[in-house]
Amino acid sequence: MKIAVASNDFIKVAGHAGQARKWLVFEVPEGQTPVEVDRLELAPDQVFHHHKQGTNPLDGVSVLIAASAGEGFLRRMGKRGIEAVLTGEADARKAAADYLAGTLAPPRPPGVMGWICQLRDLFSKHR
């Protein structure tokens, strides 16, 4: 299983998964803890907010973790066979491990910017 975590600095979990360019990728050997196997920096046209069809460097992961994402993003990931999970956990490595343990912190309530993002998603052509 592979888990990708959105991260602006390859340390902390980043928000707005659809706009995230940097991703930590973990592989999980059966019964073990996640092991970092890659650090991806997506080209602007590969960012999910702009990516329409075709393959993506994150294809093949089972789970994407981020601090926030719009409903459109969550639906599109589901169509790609990828589970998108939101969390309030700040540490990217801990988020991957906690997901596996079933103890991942729930997402934080959206602040003002979260509400603005949700409003933008309502009118986005990327829904």
pLDDT tens-digit map of 9-59: 999 999 889 889 999 999 998 888 999 999 999 999 888 877 667 788 999
| In a domain? residue 127 | no
Band (pLDDT 50/70/90 cuts) for residue 72 is confident
Cα distance between residue 61 and residue 82, in whole Å: 7
| In a domain? residue 93 | yes
Q: Which of 24, 1, 9, 5 is nearest to 69 (CA)?
A: 5
Helix (H) or strand (E) holding 63: strand 63-66
CA distances from 91 to 13, 23, 36 (A): 6, 13, 13
Count the domains in the chain: 1
Domain interval for residue 111 = 2-122
**Residue 92 and residue 98 in contact, taking contact as beta carbons nearer than 8 Å:** no
Q: Tell me the whole-structure pTM to 2 decimals.
A: 0.86
From the number of C-beta atoms within 10 Å of its C-beta (0-12, 13-18, 19+), residue 57 rates as middle
| In a domain? residue 61 | yes
CATH number assigned to the domain comprising residue 39: 3.30.420.130
Helix (H, G, I), strand (E, B) or coil at 21: coil
| In a domain? residue 102 | yes
Alpha-helical (H) ranges within the chain are: 71-79, 92-101, 112-122
**Residue 49 and residue 66 in contact, taking contact as beta carbons nearer than 8 Å:** no
pLDDT of residue 38: 97
